[in-house]
Amino acid sequence: MNSLKLLPRRIFAFVARDFRLFVSYRMQFFLRIISVLAVVTTLFFISKIFAGFTDPQYSQWRDPLASWLTGLAVLNYFMTGFSSLANSIRQEQMQGTLESVLLTPINLPTVIVSSSAWDFLETTFFSFLYLFFGRVFFGVQYRGSFFLAVVFLLLTTVVLACLGILSASFAMVFKRGDPFGIFLGAGSALFSGVFFPTQLLHEYAGPKLGNISLILPATHGLQGIRQILIEGHGLAQVTQPLITLLCFLAVLLPFSLWVFGRAVKRAKREGSLIQY
């Protein structure tokens, strides 16, 4: 049987393993649900301070709570996109299980896809919770096509996953101190417009700093998703962020896979696969 046919079985193996590990820490699961509810409630009260005061030129921010919740839900996803693989590799290295996984006849792309699969499922659940709690408890309204929003979400996540693969390559060679995680983690929250419109960066910090937001895939992803969910735009109106994301993907996907392959080869040459 070829690798492609076996891919679902292998993804399922990782998901089943991670699910079992996850349920072995039940308390953590309930505490996370409570913390999401606490964040949504806090944002609801903060949004009340701004009620009726938002600048009409920022059309996506007329309901700040809706913008924040979309931003947080999506940011959660994006963070998983670029941190999940590096984290799984690092965790497997620390546990000492990476060698035994790499001893099985699976190829690198399978390891990449499979080891992040559970993280994405888990994040889907918790990201959905932000939107769900906003809707059920605080009456937040979402418009537009959810399907199109999901397409945007997946596309942006895949682009960020490419950065995640670069991050994992870094973890494979340098073991610690991943610069992608640091820059993209802090950078996305600050420059991608999760908590405030990116136009404000231009206005207050000048065009040089303001333009940083343009080189972050998360900015375009978030812009597209908010255009769809909050402004109710259709496909024709979101082509610009869509094309930008596709360009990111065309460059980053082959490059990141090539770098990861090189990193694994280097670790095998140095015999440092299980070192961390």
Partner 1 sequence: MLESAISIRNLSKTYPTPFRRLRAFFRRPVKEPVEALRDVSFDVREGAIFGLIGRNGAGKTTLTKIVATLVQPTTGSVSVRGNDSVLHDEQVRREIGLATAEERSFYWRLTSEQNLMFFARLHGLSDRIAKQRIRELFAQLELEEVARRRFGEMSTGNKQRLAVARAMLSNPPVLLLDEPTRSLDPLAAARMRELIRSLAQRDPPVTILLTSHNLAEVETLCERVAIISRGRIRALDTPQHLRSLTSKTEQIHVTVSGLNGSRDSERISFTRQAGDNELDERLRDLQSGGARILDVEVERATLFDVLEVYERGDLNLNQKENQ
- Residues in contact with partner 1 by CB under 8 A are 1, 3, 6, 9-10, 12-14, 16-17, 20-21, 24, 95-97, 99-107, 265, 268-273
Nearer to partner 1, 20 or 208 (CB): 20
CB of 120 to partner 1, least distance (A): 19
Least distance in angstroms from the C-beta of 87 to partner 1: 16
Return the number of the residue (140 or 172) whose C-beta is nearest partner 1: 172
User: Could you give the dihedral angle defined by the CA atoms of residues 226, 232, 234 and 237, in that order, rounded to the nearest 10 degrees?
Assistant: -60
**Planar angle of CA 218, 224, 228, nearest 5 degrees:** 140
Closer of 14 and 126 to partner 1 (Cβ):
14
CB-based contact 180:163 (threshold 8 Å): yes
- Report, in Å, the least distance between residue 110 CB and partner 1: 9
C-alpha distances (whole Å) from 266 to each of 94, 97, 256, 259 are 18, 19, 15, 10
Phi-psi region of 93 (alpha: psi -120 to 50; beta: other; left: phi over 0): alpha
Contacts of 38 (CB under 8 A, 6+ apart): none
Residue 184 Cβ vs partner 1, minimum distance, rounded to whole Å: 24
Decide whether 17 or 233 has the Cβ nearer to partner 1: 17
The smaller minimum CB distance to partner 1, of residues 7 and 212, is found at 7
In the complex, minimum distance from the CB of residue 2 to partner 1, in angstroms, rounded to a whole number: 10
